[in-house]
A = this chain, B = another copy of it.
Amino acid sequence: MKVVVLRLGHRYGRDKRLSTHVALTARAFGAKEVVFDAVDREVEESINAVSSSWGGSFKVSFTDGWKKYVKNFKGDIVHLTMYGLPVGKVVGKLRKSRKDKLVIVGSQKVPSEVYQMASYNAAVGSQPHSEVAALAVFLDRLFAGRQLMKRFGGRIEIVPQARGKRMVENR
């Protein structure tokens, strides 16, 4: 089961940090790729710099036609929105289907077509908070916490410590 995250509504400059957090969260929680609907080479570079040090094969890409991208995606389309059905009710079905997943996260406002195109509109709580938080909790639950334990096999790795920092460099 491959997970791809589609970040809609990225605004150049203004959303740089939040979109970077979305992408790094996607990577750390087990997605294989993030797709943006607007080109931002700075965001791309900072994500790729993380991957090149920390490992894995996470991909950053761009689409100039997100509707077509969604339509052509083979698998379940999950739109994370606080208006949707509770994530706890959705995640079991998603796990069972074993199809690839496209997880859509918006920024401020998402076009209404997204609600229609989605196989599932899933809410990580019905309170306003953060697309980064929603994505993290959704993926953590989808993978039942296992992805967080995965090793990425990068040049740099952390050795978990009760106190302080310990890293190893693999050559």
Copies of this protein, total = 2
Given the interface pairs A132-B132, A133-B136, A164-B115, the reply to whether A157 lies near B21 with Cβ below 8 Å is no
Residue among A17, A84, A129, A152 with the highest chain B CB neighbour number at 10 A = A129
Q: Is the CB of B164 within 8 A of A28?
A: no
Residues of B within 8 A of A116 (CB): 163
Given the interface pairs A126-B160, A132-B130, A136-B136, the reply to whether A149 lies near B21 with Cβ below 8 Å is no
Interface size on A, residues (CB 8 A): 54
What 1/0 mask marks residues of chain A from 111 to 153 whose CB sits below 8 Å from any chain B CB? 0100110101101111111101111110011000101110010
Residues of B within 8 A of A118 (CB): 163
Question: Interface on A for B, CB 8 Å cutoff?
Answer: 17-18, 21, 24-25, 27-29, 50, 54, 82-88, 112, 115-116, 118, 120-121, 123-130, 132-137, 140-141, 145, 147-149, 152, 157-158, 160-167
